[in-house]
Amino acid sequence: MSRSDDSDSGYFFLDPAFTDPARIRRERQKARELRRTPWWRNLVAKGLCHYCGAQFPPAKLTLDHVVPLARGGESTRGNCVPCCEACNRSKGLETPAERLLRDLKQDDGPGEES
Ligand SMILES: [Zn+2]
The confidence band for 5, taking pLDDT boundaries of 50, 70 and 90, is: very low
Distance of CA 1 from the midpoint of ligand 1 (Å):
43
What the chain holds in terms of domains, given with CATH numbers, is 13-103 (1.10.30.50)
Distance of CA 27 from the midpoint of ligand 1 (Å):
23
Distance from C-alpha of 85 to C-alpha of 62, rounded to nearest angstrom? 7
Q: How much is the pLDDT for 1?
A: 45
pTM above 0.75, yes or no: no
Distance from C-alpha of 94 to C-alpha of 52, rounded to nearest angstrom? 12
Distance of CA 62 from the midpoint of ligand 1 (Å):
10
Q: What is the mean pLDDT of residues 78-87?
A: 94
Q: How much is the pLDDT for 20?
A: 87
Distance of CA 99 from the midpoint of ligand 1 (Å):
11
Q: How much is the pLDDT for 8?
A: 46
Q: How much is the pLDDT for 68?
A: 87
Given a contact cutoff of 8 angstroms between Cβ atoms, the answer to whether 63 and 28 are in contact is no
